[in-house]
Amino acid sequence: MKILIVGAGLFGAVCAHEFAKAGHRCTVIEKRSHIGGNVFTRYIPEADCHEHVYGAHIFHTNSKKIWDYVNQFAEFNHYVNRVKVDCGSGIYSFPINLFTLYQVYGVRTPDEARARLEQALVPNATPANMEEYCLSAIGEDLYQIFIEGYTQKQWGRHPRELPADVVKRLPVRFTFDDNYFNDRYQGIPVGGYTAIIEKMLAGADVRLNVDFNADREDWISQYDKVVYTGPIDAFFDYRHGTLEYRSLRFERELLPVSDFQGNAVMNYSRREVPWTRIIEHKHFDMKLNAPNTLITREYPDAWTVGKTEYYPLNNPSTDMLFRRYRDAAEELAPKIHFGGRLAEYRYYDMHQIVGSALSLCDRLGEGRSSM
Ligand code: UDP
Q: Find, among 98, 95, 92, 93, the residue nearest to 112 by Cα.
A: 98
Site to substitute for ligand 1 among 39, 59, 97, 151, most atoms within 8 A of C-beta? 151
Q: Which residues line ligand 1 (CB under 6 A)?
A: 85, 94, 146-147, 150-151, 154, 166-167, 169-170, 267, 269
Domains in the chain, ordered, with CATH?
2-35+201-244+311-367 (3.40.50.720), 97-167 (no CATH)
**pLDDT < 50: residue spans in the chain:** 367-371
Considering only CA atoms, which residue is closest to atom 21 of ligand 1?
166
User: What is residue 370's predicted lDDT score, i.e. its pLDDT?
Assistant: 35
Query: Could you tell me the distance, in angstroms and rounded to a whole number, from the CA of residue 43 to the centre of ligand 1?
Result: 27
For 111-150, what is each residue's pLDDT tens digit? Answer: 999 999 999 999 999 999 999 999 999 999 999 999 999 9
User: What is residue 369's predicted lDDT score, i.e. its pLDDT?
Assistant: 39
Considering only CA atoms, which residue is closest to atom 11 of ligand 1?
151
**Which residues carry out catalysis?**
169, 173, 246, 277, 298, 347, 349
Q: Find, among 198, 205, 204, the residue nearest to 73 by Cα.
A: 198
User: What is residue 367's predicted lDDT score, i.e. its pLDDT?
Assistant: 47
For 26-61, what is each residue's pLDDT tens digit? Answer: 999 999 999 999 999 999 999 999 999 999 999 999
Q: Alpha-carbon torsion 133, 134, 138, 139, what sign?
A: negative
User: What is residue 362's predicted lDDT score, i.e. its pLDDT?
Assistant: 94
Considering only CA atoms, which residue is closest to atom 23 of ligand 1?
56
Query: Could you tell me the distance, in angstroms and rounded to a whole number, from the CA of residue 165 to the centre of ligand 1?
Result: 11
Strands 91-93 and 84-86, by their bridges, are antiparallel
Considering only CA atoms, which residue is closest to atom 10 of ligand 1?
151
Instruction: Judge if the upstream peptide bond of residue 189 is cis by omega within 30 degrees of 0.
Output: no
User: What is residue 213's predicted lDDT score, i.e. its pLDDT?
Assistant: 93
Query: Could you tell me the distance, in angstroms and rounded to a whole number, from the CA of residue 355 to the centre of ligand 1?
Result: 22
Considering only CA atoms, which residue is closest to atom 13 of ligand 1?
167
Query: Could you tell me the distance, in angstroms and rounded to a whole number, from the CA of residue 333 to the centre of ligand 1?
Result: 35
Rounded distance between C-alpha atoms, residue 156 and residue 169, angstroms: 19
Site to substitute for ligand 1 among 134, 150, 273, most atoms within 8 A of C-beta? 150
Q: Find, among 54, 97, 91, 61, the residue nearest to 76 by Cα.
A: 61
Query: Could you tell me the distance, in angstroms and rounded to a whole number, from the CA of residue 151 to the centre of ligand 1?
Result: 7
Query: Could you tell me the distance, in angstroms and rounded to a whole number, from the CA of residue 166 to the centre of ligand 1?
Result: 7
Kindly state the percentage of the chain with pLDDT values over 90.
97
DSSP state of 129: S
